[in-house]
Amino acid sequence: MAEEVVLLDFWPSPFGMRVRIALAEKGIKYEYKEEDLKNKSALLLQMNPVHKKIPVLIHNGKPVCESLIQVQYIDEVWHHKSPLLPSDPYQRAIARFWADFVDKKIYDLGRKVWTTKGEEQEAAKKEFIESLKLLEGELGDKPYFGGENLGYVDVVLVPFYSWFYAYEKCGNFSIEAECPKLIAWAKRCMQKESVSKSLPDREKVYGFVLQLKKAFGIE
């Protein structure tokens, strides 16, 4: 039976990028639909009535919402190729812990870095770098969080790499100076087509951030 996969997404969304990477890793053909968040489609509102947010993965007409849930779903349905989560339950728990950590810390702190100034921004930058260093610790000497290949945590974290340049410009700091191992890891991930084709150009993201700052009246 023909599988029909549709992804409702918004190009700069790191959450959407996670799903794009997972689908690409598994070699799944899908229809990409760009949403205008100021004018959400009837389909989006119908498929995600609770949160009305992207990304939404629609598989054979049935919606799956929330990026971590979507990546796990993709991994479970298309389990025969490029597994993202390890098979051992304890290793899976470790992976889920770090994915949850990324969700709790990286997005919100990154957001604070480009939306605030002064003391608030300095505090956000500090905690952001601390969080990245914890992730570096978890990575250790492995090429990827998943070991020899891209895994769940890699897919969950690497999208933010496309936003690092914007954070750096807005926050006037260098992430590479503080977390060289993590940047090396990100560049390694970018050598994979599934990642490089799923992440937007960093200048484009920075341009988008500047537009948002203007719209929100942030200097």
What does the binding site for other proteins look like in residue numbers (CB under 8 A)? 50, 59, 62, 64-66, 69-70, 72-73, 76-77, 89-90, 92-93, 96-97, 100-101, 134
Taking only Cα atoms into account, the Rg of the chain, rounded to an integer number of angstroms, comes to 17
34 vs 76, which CB is nearer to other proteins? 76
The amino acid sitting at 107 is Y
Q: Quick one: 66 or 168, whose CB is closer to other proteins?
A: 66
Q: Tell me how far apart the alpha carbons of residues 145 and 134 are, in angstroms, rounded to a whole number.
A: 12
Closest residue by Cα to residue 183 from 146, 127, 139, 122: 139
CB of 138 or CB of 176, closer to other proteins: 138
Interhelix angle 202-216/89-115, nearest 10 degrees? 50
Nearest distance from residue 152's CB to other proteins, in Å? 12
CA torsion, points 111, 186, 206, 195, in degrees to nearest 10?
-110
* Residue nearer to other proteins on the CB measure, 89 or 217: 89
- Specify the residue, 9 or 66, whose C-beta has the smaller distance to other proteins: 66
Q: How far is CA 94 from the centre of its chain?
A: 18
Of 96 and 169, the one with the shorter C-beta distance to other proteins is: 96
Q: How big is the CA angle at 44 (ends 42 and 48), to the nearest 5 degrees?
A: 125
Smallest gap from Cβ 75 to other proteins, in A, equals 9
Tokens of 210: 């500047």
Token output for 44: 């989006």
Specify whether the CB–CB gap between 163 and 199 falls below 8 A.
no
All residues at 6 or more sequence positions from 172 whose CB lies less than 8 Å from its CB, including other chains: none
Q: How far is the CB of 205 from other proteins (least distance, A)?
A: 26
Quote the least distance from Cβ 97 to other proteins, whole Å. 5
